[in-house]
Amino acid sequence: MKRIIAIILTVSLLFTCLPVFCANAAESPELIEYGFVDCGDADVEYGIYGVANGRPLLLLPPNGGDMHALDGSVLPGLAEHFRVITVSPRGTGNSDWVEGTMNFETMAQDLVKILDYLKIDKVDIFGFSDGGNLGFVFAVNHQERVNSLVAMGSNINTWGTNTFDQLQIIYQWIVLCIEAWLTGDPETARRRDIKGMMVGQPSLTFDDIATIKVPVLNIYGEHDMIKRRHSEKITKSIEGAQGLMIVGGGHSSSFDYTDTIIMPALLEFYGVTE
């Protein structure tokens, strides 16, 4: 009976999943360094692309994405100008999953350990979706390590997600919780914990992000799953922050405008001249 219920729940989950971000088919740059950093209870995977001695830029993937999630979108363009550090957050890629540790605060501390390991004092950050959420948490808690932050399609708390999308997320998480309980399957439990990062997390306030004093660019799609008023308030809450709405863009579909809108905006924000 448990197996039948698990199958029903799995099929239900498949038919209710939100669209998953997939990188475009653009060719990825050459990987110049690869390894793992001991973060205490978990080994976290990282890779480095681009200019070996260049300005360091930390590239943070969306929920469930690993160090390759942005290979076919912004990575190639950024690697032409930066030393790009990509990360597989714990529970993704080849990084360890430790039950009960899947939260933005722990992952932000992992980033500190990665930067320490690489002997990098301060870094520019680009994060998409949950990657941008992590960027906000990191900037609030470890601002001394941040040169600038670009967040795309990101929210600082779950109230910022459109109600229908958030209800889907909660439903998917509940299904995974039940399936993990019924089957005892570690892989299902890992997926449950990853999905759970979008249930009640992050939990920042607008007063929290008002403490951020580094340059910030907040990018969001016209039809994003993040409420437009939430995105606009993020920009208004941070002194000097810039906002960019991609007309016609959704959440991950905003990457359709990588070459025409996103990369030119990033290079201008970072002060890079061709």
- At 10 the pLDDT is 45
Q: Whole-angstrom distance between the N-terminal and C-terminal Cα of the chain? A: 62
Percent of the chain with pLDDT strictly greater than 90: 88
pLDDT in tens, 80-92: 999 999 999 999 9
In the chain, which ranges are E strands? 31-38, 43-50, 56-60, 83-88, 123-128, 146-152, 216-221, 242-246
Instruction: Give yes or no for residue 186 having a pLDDT over 70.
Output: yes
Least confident of 17-31, 58-72, 167-181: 17-31
d(CA 121, CA 9): 46
Of 246, 244, 263, 264, the C-alpha closest to 254 is 246
Distance of CA 132 to the CA centre of its chain: 5
pLDDT at 273: 76
- C-alpha of 85 from chain center: 13
Q: What would the pLDDT profile of 227-270 be if each residue is shown by its tens digit?
A: 999 999 999 999 999 999 999 999 999 999 999 999 999 999 99
What domains can be seen in the chain, in order of their start residue? 2-270 (3.40.50.1820)
What pLDDT score does 274 carry?
64
| Confidence band for 28, pLDDT divided at 50, 70 and 90 | confident
pTM for the model stands at 0.90
At 18 the pLDDT is 41
Burial class (CB within 10 angstroms; exposed 0-12, middle 13-18, buried 19+) of 79: buried
Whether 15 has a pLDDT exceeding 90, the answer reads: no
- DSSP code at position 121: S
The 3-state DSSP class for residue 125 equals: strand
Give the C-alpha distances (Å, rounded to integers) separating 106 from 82, 100, 118.
26, 10, 19
